[in-house]
Chains A and B, each alone.
Chain A
């Protein structure tokens, strides 16, 4: 039978320990493999299909993020944080299915297409100074992977609108109707992500299928109306988003809302009947839900309440609410090591970049899980991109484990460095550390010099500083997934949460202030420098040209002229004495002849110049 396109929408709500609420919208659109002669879509966006086909994209992920993920309170070891905690700004990575020599060309074309499609400055990633080619430090292991990020890109409503246009129901119906712009962008964290992957078909003559996954992850602060300060705030969908769900997207195959509650440890040990359990869980002494869930699924650390919004209507909208009755505390499961990155040093000349990895409470639970040669170790991959204006001295890399410096061969298992070239390419560093499980802290530092740029290379606000993109710390031996006890092939969201995903966290974006030249000085610098050089040139030539011998010859020539005058005087006296006045007229005749010849020559030159001028002006 012929497969059809599928669209699913889901919303996951999750209270957080620091009195906030996480809302995760998940939309999945699947296009089956079809005939390569032509493709006509009913649900799948045509722009994405053409983009994949044109640039031979095998896998791609694009995210627009505002705010920073709090790994300590919002989670570090669950699929939500591993997949949706993104660095600030725009991040794009893509794996292409083209020959190696065409990967960069495809990347440039892809950035331009995405720039137009999503109304963002993604085309800035076209420059070879803005992207890198990771090998193994980043997630996908491929030599046709390209990665780039723009930390300074401001994410706002104009980025959400084209993102919503890819949905079949836009933001008119279904779960996406909850996306009220003021509510979404008022939160502490906002990340919209687009993930593309192709599915190969085994048959000949059929193109590959496309899976488009769009997610929006927001962290919102409910309004606090409770008098008690330590009480968790109660909320509802209308109070969080200012809108209600009045019906599902009629084009969606499934439309569900999930509520995930962690920390309900008191109910794990009970082995009660499912129906009775469900009845008791959504109304108990701690909290109360405003609607009865369809199902309740137990996970190793949390409970999942499933709601179907198909039953809602205009007269009876879907408005899920959670009311807390008494204070409740719990903590999130965290990654093995908590990572942070900061700058060291002062001044505008040089500094150092340091990464600090600290052990978390979750590390003790994970001890003994990984054994390498009989020893318990934690593997950590660190991936960093350095802009070209940060001159990194890679030989100054130092690694301290528990405040003791280790040589590179002890803990550094693998390192791949691609130094940056001025104005040509950015630098990249991939490191794999192998640390003992009982490690408390790891510090990595590397020194750099700050670059001095041409005045044209500064951004409009030069004194704000330059951004160093976030570093990515991933743990290849640890995977995050939700361990559901029941089979849930129906929901794409739950299927993705059930898959094992790499545990990773992004560090802070660093802001490096560079020294600035005086932008008003180009003409002054050029004129002053050239003037000094001209003065030097003149004085040197004067010294070298001067000859005392020439001065003596000049004096002799002056004396010669004087003697000539004396001769003339003597000749006149003798002429008077002898009574011969004929000689004087002859000399005057000679002078007149010389003058006449010079005059004739001048007249000829002027006439020639006039004729030439007339000739050329006539031509023009």
Chain B
């Protein structure tokens, strides 16, 4: 007992210290890249900036608005008018002797730091819940306590030091702000702060249409609570307890009764729906006011959500739709648009919801991973977000298959992407198929990653069920 306490104390003292050192180092690294005289022009990389998240287009939209034109005139800006009001003035001001957009870069650094801190808080909550759920399984108590990794710190540092996150922050993309909105919604749901969760969801959906499916994991988080094990396991435990008439079994049954009777909190969910409606109305009113003389909300929906759903811009990116719709025949374009937009809805959202409703945070990770593969204009910022959420489950996913192979695939295709782009656009020795082939390979590895993660999580839950059964026998 004393030794265990000492170990816990030593670990508790060391972890925050190391975490803050690494956090400060990542911030310094970002600032060095931003103010570096090397002038790495990442703002026009197709992997970093898309027509939806490019800061150059936001600056163009702000210039048009200052010139008494609609910010959506000219097929340039397709983002949020609120984001335009916040970041637009920063794109105009210039620090003396420096290039432009430095203030926006500082905003993105702050967004990354906030995202990391919120991820850490989410991870600590998850870890505490995981430990509490494993405590009733007496056989696994001692070994699992020592083996549980600090997933909050790991996820935060994975987010900060992920090259994809650094590229999005330094490359003048608005992905860090979209990622911050998503993490705010998850943090609000994990800590059961319903207005904050609703605010994060509305802002995330407003900035990016593909954050809308997050409403389901948020409802499960608020209804069922934090990642709870399947209820079937506790039913079997109670059943085993009832069968045996020993005193120790009776005591176990008493301990497990509150967990078994955990209900779905409809009251909290209705509270959440109410706040979603409140924030939705508020955001729509603000957008309507800012676009009052330029077509109003109809123009905004057409230029933002319509632009996403219709895949109007055929500029290359790391997704697969730009080349598909550049090559597809015009008469079948509408048919293919409907097919691929419904593909996300019908393939991933319902089937995952049924199997992973007891793990809302992991469900959120799965949704974000699928949409980042299948969205119209993906970028590395989307991969940065779901990789960090994946790191929240390092304890559950230790038995994931092909993890090293997938890791090498990610590195390989990420490094090959600028090479293929250089061959195609600048040297001319390649053509568009080079870059498209790289995008296809990258999509394959993302599919494999998500599939193996879901498989590992389901296997982990089955292992928990077996452990519960063994405990019942004992």
A residues whose Cβ falls under 8 Å from a Cβ of B? 346-350, 388, 391, 393-395, 415, 417, 419-422, 427, 449, 451-456, 515-518, 521-522, 525-526, 528-529, 532-533, 535-537, 539-541, 543-544, 546, 548
Any chain A CB within 8 A of the CB of B281?
no
B residues with a Cβ closer than 8 A to A are: 44, 56, 59-60, 62-64, 67, 69, 73-76, 312-316, 320, 322-330, 343, 347-348, 351-352, 354-355, 424-426, 428, 431-433, 436, 440, 443-444, 447, 450-451, 454-455, 458, 462
Q: Is the CB of B69 within 8 A of A515?
A: no
Residue contacts A-B, CB under 8 angstroms, 29 given: A346-B426, A349-B425, A349-B426, A393-B56, A393-B60, A395-B62, A417-B64, A419-B64, A419-B69, A419-B73, A419-B75, A422-B313, A452-B314, A452-B326, A454-B314, A454-B325, A454-B326, A516-B432, A517-B432, A522-B327, A522-B329, A526-B327, A526-B328, A532-B444, A540-B351, A541-B351, A543-B458, A544-B454, A548-B462
Contacts of A522 in B (CB 8 A): 327-329
Known: A421-B75, A539-B451, A544-B351. A529 touches B320 (CB 8 A): yes
State whether B440 touches A395 (Cβ < 8 A).
no
Cross-interface CB contact of B44 among A349, A517, A539, A544, cutoff 8 Å = A349
Known: A394-B63, A532-B440. A518 touches B426 (CB 8 A): no
B324 touches A540 (CB 8 A): no
How many A-B residue contacts, CB cutoff 8 Å? Answer: 124
Are B326's CB and A395's CB within 8 A? no
A517's partner among B327, B330, B428 (CB-CB below 8 A) is: B327
Q: Check A391/B76 contact, CB under 8 A, given A526-B324, A526-B328.
A: yes
Indicate the member of A452, A537, A540, A541 with the most B CB atoms within 10 Å. A540
Residues of B with C-beta under 8 A to A540: 347-348, 351, 447, 450-451, 454
Residues A452 and B315 in contact in the complex (CB < 8 Å), given A349-B44, A532-B440: yes
- The answer for the CA separation of A350 and B67 in the assembled complex, in Å, is 24
Kindly list the 9 A-B residue pairs having the minimum CB-CB distance in the complex, ordered from nearest.
A419-B74, A395-B63, A422-B75, A536-B447, A525-B327, A452-B314, A522-B327, A347-B426, A517-B432
Interface of A, secondary structure class, is mixed
Contact in complex: A455, B443 (CB < 8 Å): no
In the assembled complex, how far is the CB of residue B169 from the closest CB belonging to chain A, in whole angstroms?
22
| A605, B130: Cα distance in complex, Å | 58
Known: A391-B76, A540-B454. A455 touches B60 (CB 8 A): no
Contact status B455-A543, CB under 8 Å:
yes
Decide if A543 touches B432 in the complex (CB within 8 Å): no
Nearest chain-B residue to A394 (Cβ)? Answer: B63
Find chain A residues with CB under 8 A from B425 CB.
347-349, 515
Residues in B neighbouring A395, C-beta threshold 8 A: 59-60, 62-63
The CA of A176 and the CA of B308, in the complex, are separated in Å by 60
- Chain B residues near A421 (CB-CB < 8 A): 73-75
Judging by beta carbons under 8 Å apart, are B447 and A348 in contact?
no
Chain B residue at smallest Cβ distance from A525 = B327
Inter-chain contact B74/A427, CB cutoff 8 Å:
yes
Cβ contact within 8 Å between B56 and A517? no
A452 to B75 alpha-carbon distance, docked (Å): 13
CB distance from B315 to the nearest CB of A (A): 5
Is A525 touching B328 in the complex (CB atoms < 8 A)?
yes
Q: How far is the CA of A422 from the CA of B314 in the complex (A)?
A: 11
B74 and A348: CB pair below 8 A? no
Q: Considering residues B64, B316, B327, B431, which has the most beta carbons from chain A within 10 angstroms of its beta carbon?
A: B327
User: Looking at the complex, which one of B56, B59, B330, B347 makes contact with A537 (CB distance below 8 Å)?
Assistant: B347
Residues of A contacting B451 in the complex (Cβ-Cβ under 8 angstroms): 536, 539-540, 543
Nearest-CB residue, chain B, relative to A528: B440
**Bound Cα distance A348, B76 (Å):** 19
Measured CB to CB, the nearest residue on chain B to A535 is B447
Q: Which residue of A lies closest to B315 (CB)?
A: A452
Chain B minimum-CB-distance residue to A392 = B74
CA distance A533 to B447 in the complex (A): 9
Residue ID in chain B nearest A386 by CB atoms: B74
Whether the pair B432, A417 counts as a contact (CB closer than 8 A) is: no
Among B313, B324, B447, B455, which residue has its beta carbon within 8 angstroms of that of A525? B324
Chain A residues lying within 8 Å of B347, measured Cβ to Cβ, are 537, 540
Query: Are B348 and A455 in touch, CB under 8 angstroms?
Result: no
